[in-house]
Amino acid sequence: MQFMLLFSRQGKLRLQKWYVPLSDKEKKKITRELVQTVLARKPKMCSFLEWRDLKIVYKRYASLYFCCAIEDQDNELITLEIIHRYVELLDKYFGSVCELDIIFNFEKAYFILDEFLLGGEAQETSKKNVLKAIEQADLLQEVRHLIKITPN
């Protein structure tokens, strides 16, 4: 996977994960163009499109579009499953996730993504293990924080 973008129906970016080195300017350009292209698609169209030399896989969940750019040898259908798995993880973590959760807790959405994918590939195929790791890391945050504010 080269990158993943999450954006609303109005085209507002909610998450951007880039696995290839690009300048800020290039990222903005790609985002703008791709968001426009995907938002113009009609509901009856399939989830795949060719864009530049990449394959784009996208799926809408409620008010959010999940959009991935994959390479020629990558399997489009399994990418849909990757997207679905990420949504399930968010859903389990936030308890019936909605766009607002991702807006107000964007850093957590990134943390979850970074426990599921690494360098654009799935690092863990068990839902349980991803959620367990996030849980433990969150605890680590709490504990250290507690230690900090109770000096004794």
Partner 1 sequence: MPAPIRLRELIRTIRTARTQAEEREMIQKECAAIRSSFREEDNTYRCRNVAKLLYMHMLGYPAHFGQLECLKLIASQKFTDKRIGYLGAMLLLDERQDVHLLMTNCIKNDLNHSTQYVQGLALCTLGCMGSSEMCRDLAGEVEKLLKTSNSYLRKKAALCAVHVIRKVPELMEMFLPATKNLLSEKNHGVLHTSVVLLTEMCERSPDMLAHFRKLVPQLVRILKNLIMSGYSPEHDVSGISDPFLQVRILRLLRILGKSDDDSSEAMNDILAQVATNTETSKNVGNAILYETVLTIMDIKSESGLRVLAINILGRFLLNNDKNIRYVALTSLLKTVQTDHNAVQRHRSTIVDCLKDLDVSIKRRAMELSFALVNGNNIRGMMKELLYFLDSCDPEFKADCASGVFLAAEKYAPSKRWHIDTIMRVLTTAGSYVRDDSVPNLIQLITNSVEMHAYTVQRLYKALLDDISQQPLVQVASWCIGEYGDLLVSGQCEEEEPIQDEVLDVLEGLLVSNLSTPVTRGYALTAIMKLSTRFSSVNRIKKVVSIYGSSIDVELQQRAVEYNALFKKYDHMRANPNPNIAVITIHASNSTEADMTDFVFQAAVPKTFQLQLLSPSSNVVPALNQGTVTQVIRVLNPQKQQLRMRIKLTYTLKGSAVQDLAEVNNFPPQSWQ
Contacts to partner 1 by CB under 8 A: 13-16, 19, 21-23, 28, 42, 44-50, 73, 75-78, 80-82, 103-104, 106-107, 110-111, 114-115, 118-119, 121-129, 133, 136-137, 140-141, 144-145, 148
Collapsed DSSP state (helix, strand, coil) of residue 17: strand
d(CA 150, CA 32): 47
> In 10 A of CB 30, how many CB atoms?
20
Tell me how far, at minimum, the Cβ of 152 lies from partner 1, in Å. Answer: 19
DSSP 18-78: E-S---HHHHHHHHHHHHHHHHT--TTS-SEEEETTEEEEEEEETTEEEEEEE-TTS-HHH
Tell me how far, at minimum, the Cβ of 128 lies from partner 1, in Å. Answer: 6
* Cβ distance to partner 1 smaller for residue 63 or 141: 141
Cβ proximity of 61 and 1 under 8 Å: no
Tell me how far, at minimum, the Cβ of 52 lies from partner 1, in Å. Answer: 15
Tell me how far, at minimum, the Cβ of 43 lies from partner 1, in Å. Answer: 10
* Cβ distance to partner 1 smaller for residue 52 or 144: 144
* Cβ distance to partner 1 smaller for residue 62 or 140: 140
